[in-house]
Amino acid sequence: MKKQETSLGLLADFLPERSFEMVAPFFRDHKVHLTLTQERKSVLGDYRNPTPDYPHHRISININLNKYNFLITLLHELAHMLTYVHFQNNVPPHGKEWKTQFRHILVPFMGKRFFPADVEAAVLAYLRNPAASTCTDPRLYKALYRYDERKPGYTLVDDIKPNGLFEIEGGRRFQKVESLRTRSRCKELATGRMYFFQGIVEVRSVRK
């Protein structure tokens, strides 16, 4: 996987306007190596603590994230760094200690117009009990997804209308039957079998 180490001066290019000034002190107060990497489907970012062989904090962020998702993911990983500084590896990765650090870091970014109104509202709701990934919070995920650069025709299952058709990776086609609370019941056209899809799964819409 190709990675590109990023200088602090270039970081502002990936962040919402004016937010760099609030992020920079974390890098000035701690020895952090920030790396931008190509899309990883399993994670948006990653933190690794210092070791005898590599005595720096290491953070990697997916380079394809939109600027709002990039900022949230960066703060997520910085919260891991601060949790390590205070507790080393003696607490769970996403336990109450990390949740506290994440709230302390993220709350000062609220109310300053760094985020669009829909994203900020979703972030505030998410902060009541932040999860290991923004991908596990449907409201926040969908709010951030609106600002992604997407290939034409791609959308979320939640945004497919009833009886609408869509295609998943590999070419299998489905018809959306009904929306449930967090999932949708869909019929595979080739077999007639019913499947349940999470609402935040990205698919390609297909015309009838």
Taking the mean position of all CA atoms in its chain, how far away is CA 174? 27
CA 31 to chain centre: 24
Contacts of 115 (CB under 8 A, 6+ apart): 16, 68, 71, 109, 123
| The pLDDT of residue 7 | 64
Residue 39: per-residue pLDDT = 78
Mean pLDDT score, 1-25: 80
Query: 7, exposed or middle or buried, with CB in 10 Å at 0-12, 13-18, 19+?
Result: exposed
Confidence of residue 43 (pLDDT cuts 50, 70, 90): confident
- Please name which of 34, 66, 59 lies closest in space to residue 45, comparing C-alpha atoms: 59
pLDDT digits (tens, 9 = 90+) for 86-124: 999 999 999 999 999 999 999 999 999 999 999 999 999
Residue 173 and residue 190 in contact, taking contact as beta carbons nearer than 8 Å = yes
pLDDT above 70: residue 160: yes
Pull the structure tokens for residue 113. 């117009």
- Is pLDDT of 4 > 60? no
Instruction: Using CB atoms within 10 Å of the CB of residue 169, give its burial: 0 to 12 exposed, 13 to 18 middle, 19+ buried.
Output: exposed
d(CA 14, CA 139): 23
Mean pLDDT calculated for residue range 152-164: 94
Average pLDDT, the chain: 92
Q: What is the mean pLDDT of residues 134-149?
A: 90
Span of 104-108, 109-113, 134-138, 175-179 with lowest mean pLDDT: 134-138
Cβ within 8 Å of residue 78, ≥6 positions away:
26, 59, 105
Q: Residue 2 — very low, low, confident or very high, per pLDDT cuts 50/70/90? A: very low
pTM: 0.87
How open is the CA angle 150-154-155, to the nearest 5 degrees? 100
Residue spans per domain, the chain: 3-145, 154-206
Q: Where are the beta strands (DSSP E) in the chain?
A: 3-5, 32-37, 45-48, 57-62, 154-156, 165-167, 173-179, 183-188, 194-198, 202-206
Task: Determine the Cα–Cα distance for residues 66 and 57; give it in Å rounded to an integer.
Answer: 24
Q: For residues 25 and 170, what is the distance between their CA atoms, to the nearest angstrom?
A: 45
What is the CATH class of 154-206? mainly beta
The rounded percent of the chain whose pLDDT value lies above 90 is 81
